[in-house]
Amino acid sequence: MSKIPPFDLSEQYKIIGDEVNAAVLAVLASGRYIGGDHVEGFEQQFAAYIDTSECIACNSGTDALFLALRALHIGPGDEVITTPFTFIATAEVISAVGATPVFVDIEAYTFNLNLDQVEAAITERTRAIMPVHLFGQPVEMPRLMAIAQQHQLTVVEDCAQAVGAEWADQKVGGIGHIGCFSFYPTKNLGACGDGGAVTTNDPEIAATIRMLRDHGRRAGGYYHEAIGVNSRLDALQAAILQVKLRYLDTWNSQRRAVADRYRHLLQHVPGIVLPQEPVGGKGVWNQYTLRIPSTDQQTEQDQHCRRDQVRQHLQADGVSSMVYYPLPLHLQPIYQAQKQQLGQHLIAEQAANEVLSLPMFPELSPDVQDRVVYSLKDCLAGVIV
């Protein structure tokens, strides 16, 4: 039997290939490859989609986060509160601008920042809070905004995995002060290469980010008012994203259907904890990530035992699965110097040992999904002691 991949971008290309090809050829024929109508058009359409007044396209999700912090003049001596259970980019950009990431533990069921613990981490050096809508599940933004407002902090949302997710009918990226998106190919809205965007309702922040993304100049001249970067989005990627944006809601609801079906098929299986959508939020399921807790006995011997065993069994059956993320950021070599140690953020550490992401993409067919579920149930029956 054929191998089941964690995601499959070729299926999507089969459906929209003609439109993507036409968009690419139009850009090639136009002779305008940087900036221009496609980039501006995409920025307008994406701002309308998120419901913000401004969108600034850039080269990657990492750059979107970096540019946001730069525009807020966050730097040495400043602290930014974020989660230790995320892709490195979230904390990396905080360090890259010279500030210090302050990690706050996650909650067990959504894998998102535990809002009960945010206030205790605020000091007089804190400048911003950077929540991550992990795996496509939204953080409870109204509550976080209330905390931020009380302490006069700025909220920069890392929406890289959650384009289209909502809290109370508002899209993430339009609730905090600044939203940062990635168009890495495996994100829900993926380019055919790297890409990213920043959304905001603040015209001044938007103007600063536009200036910083293009060598610290305004409107393309040779007068530079800040040390910027080159982080422009290619016209080719913008044209492809314009095509794909039209399909995003359909794809997100297909992901939802896949998630519903996983829940339906797996809800009574012992030995696993299924992901949950937070009450009040609407997720977009960039990943379907369940937890496979180790038994107490195994935890003492080998923390990784049960999840890794299951993963190997799936692999042997030709079913790919992924571990996002095997080591929380506070335990990464780069943050060891910062008095970060084992046992500091227990829920994140436990998640790192227990998470397993099953194949998830809009075109995942019921037949293939059945094979994943069959194989998982089979392994679980075998490895439970």
The residues carrying an active-site annotation are 187
Cis peptide before 324 (omega within 30 of 0): no
Using rule CB under 6 A, residue 132 touches ligand PLP: yes
Using rule CB under 6 A, residue 158 touches ligand PLP: yes
Nearer to ligand PLP, 49 or 66 (CB): 66
Near ligand PLP by CB under 6 A, which window of 11-19, 60-68, 147-155, 230-238? 60-68
Site for ligand PLP in 192-231 (CB under 6 A): 194, 196
Of 12, 52, 62, 252, the residue at the interface with ligand PLP (CB under 6 A) is 62
Q: Which residues contact 146 (CB under 8 A, 6 or more apart)?
A: none
Nearest distance from C-beta of residue 202 to ligand PLP, angstroms: 21
Structure tokens at 316: 């042997």
Using rule CB under 6 A, residue 242 touches ligand PLP: no
Using rule CB under 6 A, residue 61 touches ligand PLP: yes
Nearest distance from C-beta of residue 196 to ligand PLP, angstroms: 5
Near ligand PLP by CB under 6 A, which window of 69-77, 157-165, 223-231, 362-370? 157-165
Near ligand PLP by CB under 6 A, which window of 57-65, 74-82, 237-245, 329-337? 57-65
Contact indicator for 104, 118 with CB cutoff of 8 Å: yes
Using rule CB under 6 A, residue 258 touches ligand PLP: no
Using rule CB under 6 A, residue 90 touches ligand PLP: yes
Q: Which residues contact 299 (CB under 8 A, 6 or more apart)?
A: none
Nearest distance from C-beta of residue 212 to ligand PLP, angstroms: 16
Contact indicator for 311, 356 with CB cutoff of 8 Å: yes
How many helices, marked H, and strands, marked E, lie in the chain?
13, 12
Nearest distance from C-beta of residue 180 to ligand PLP, angstroms: 7
3-state helix, strand, coil in the chain (%, to 5): 45, 15, 40
Residue nearest to ligand PLP (CB): 61
Residues 172 and 31: their CA atoms lie apart, in Å, by 35
Query: What's the distance, CA 271 to chain centroid?
Result: 27
Using rule CB under 6 A, residue 161 touches ligand PLP: yes
Residues 179 and 182: their CA atoms lie apart, in Å, by 10
Near ligand PLP by CB under 6 A, which window of 33-41, 50-58, 86-94, 289-297? 86-94
Using rule CB under 6 A, residue 184 touches ligand PLP: yes
Using rule CB under 6 A, residue 182 touches ligand PLP: yes
Structure tokens at 257: 């259907």
| Phi, psi of 53, rounded to the nearest 5 degrees | -80, -20
Using rule CB under 6 A, residue 60 touches ligand PLP: yes
Query: What's the distance, CA 109 to chain centroid?
Result: 17
Using rule CB under 6 A, residue 129 touches ligand PLP: no
Using rule CB under 6 A, residue 87 touches ligand PLP: yes
Side-chain-side CA neighbours of residue 363 (13 Å): 13
Near ligand PLP by CB under 6 A, which window of 27-35, 83-91, 144-152, 254-262? 83-91
Nearer to ligand PLP, 54 or 63 (CB): 63
Q: Which residues pair with 173 in a beta bridge?
A: none
Using rule CB under 6 A, residue 56 touches ligand PLP: no
The backbone region for 235, taken as left when phi is positive above 0, alpha when psi lies in -120 to 50, beta otherwise, is alpha
Nearest distance from C-beta of residue 222 to ligand PLP, angstroms: 29
State which amino acid sits at residue 113. Answer: L
Contact indicator for 77, 125 with CB cutoff of 8 Å: yes
Nearest distance from C-beta of residue 383 to ligand PLP, angstroms: 29
Q: Which residues contact 177 (CB under 8 A, 6 or more apart)?
A: 154, 155, 156, 200, 202, 205
Footprint of ligand PLP (CB under 6 A): 60-62, 86-87, 89-90, 132, 158, 160-161, 182, 184, 194, 196
